[in-house]
Amino acid sequence: MASEASGISHPLSGTGSTAAAVIARQDRIPIWSLSYLFIGIIGIGFLFTFFDIFDVTVSFVQTCIQVVPGCTPPTSANYLGLPVELNLAGYVVGALILAPLADRFGRRDILLFTLLLTGIGSLYNAFVSDYPNFVIARTITGIGIGADLALVNAYINEVAPRASRARYTSLIFIMSALGAFFGIRLGLILTTPAAPFPLGLPFAVAGPMFQGNGWRIMYGIGAFLAL
């Protein structure tokens, strides 16, 4: 019996040891194993992610006035909840459904696909003419962003050298902070009335120059960053 037991193969243990050996080999690689252009693409993707998170907040009053009949600045808050909720629900869908596909099809390919998806959603936002389509576009964008957030950390942990992994992760999150900053600032400039503070911003351009279309320009910029 003992001899029979010793002869039983354990494929799972072999698989585990192989995976551990691959991870250990990756950790010994002293340099970034991919093109630095790709880390730049990841950084731009994260910049867009946080740009998109904050741009809707500062531009929605102007958006609502154009896509919701009868919407006014005081009533615009009544319409903000649904697109924000479905955008966040899209995060869950992207993280739970799209991100795991990277285990089968590869991190790089799925990450590029999710960036494309977020770009399409943002471009869709730039051209919508009614509230239902605006909500749908925000949902599509949320699905892509949810997958992006899940994939980027895993990707960096897998391909960055162990000694400099924290540095690359920090660079990515610096890009996210820049995205949040530009999302807010650009939103204020493009969608806030040009008027003396506090009624507006003296340097804003959301007056006759753009005829209320500054929010479309914002989403167009977001699509450009993602695509």
Model confidence at 209, in pLDDT bands (50, 70, 90)?
A: low
Give the alpha-carbon dihedral of 101, 136, 51, 169, to 10 degrees.
Answer: -10
What's the rounded Cα separation, in Å, for the pair 184 and 35? 31
Q: Give me the pLDDT at residue 54, please.
A: 81
pLDDT tens digit sequence for 211-224: 578 889 889 988 88
User: Is 112 in contact with 206 (CB distance < 8 Å)?
Assistant: no
Please tell me the least confidently modeled range out of 5-9, 41-45, 139-143. Answer: 5-9
pLDDT over 80 at 145, yes or no: yes
Domain 33-226 CATH superfamily = MFS general substrate transporter like domains (1.20.1250.20)
Q: What is the average per-residue pLDDT within 195-207?
A: 62
Model confidence at 140, in pLDDT bands (50, 70, 90)?
A: very high
Model confidence at 85, in pLDDT bands (50, 70, 90)?
A: very high
Q: Give me the pLDDT at residue 207, please.
A: 55
pLDDT tens digit sequence for 171-191: 888 888 888 888 888 887 787
Q: Give me the pLDDT at residue 6, please.
A: 45
Which percentage of the chain shows pLDDT scores above 90?
Answer: 25
Q: What is the DSSP string of 105-139?
A: H-HHHHHHHHHHHHHHHHHHHHH--SHHHHHHHHH
pLDDT over 60 at 48, yes or no: yes
Q: What is the average per-residue pLDDT within 103-111?
A: 85
Please tell me the least confidently modeled range out of 48-52, 81-85, 86-90, 152-156. Answer: 152-156
Element (H, E) at 63: helix 36-67
Taking phi over 0 as left and psi of -120 to 50 as alpha, with beta for the rest, 128 belongs to beta
Q: Which two tokens stand for residue 139?
A: 């949902």
Please tell me the least confidently modeled range out of 7-16, 158-167, 193-202. Answer: 7-16
**How does the average pLDDT of the chain come out, rounded?**
79
Q: What is the average per-residue pLDDT within 33-49?
A: 74
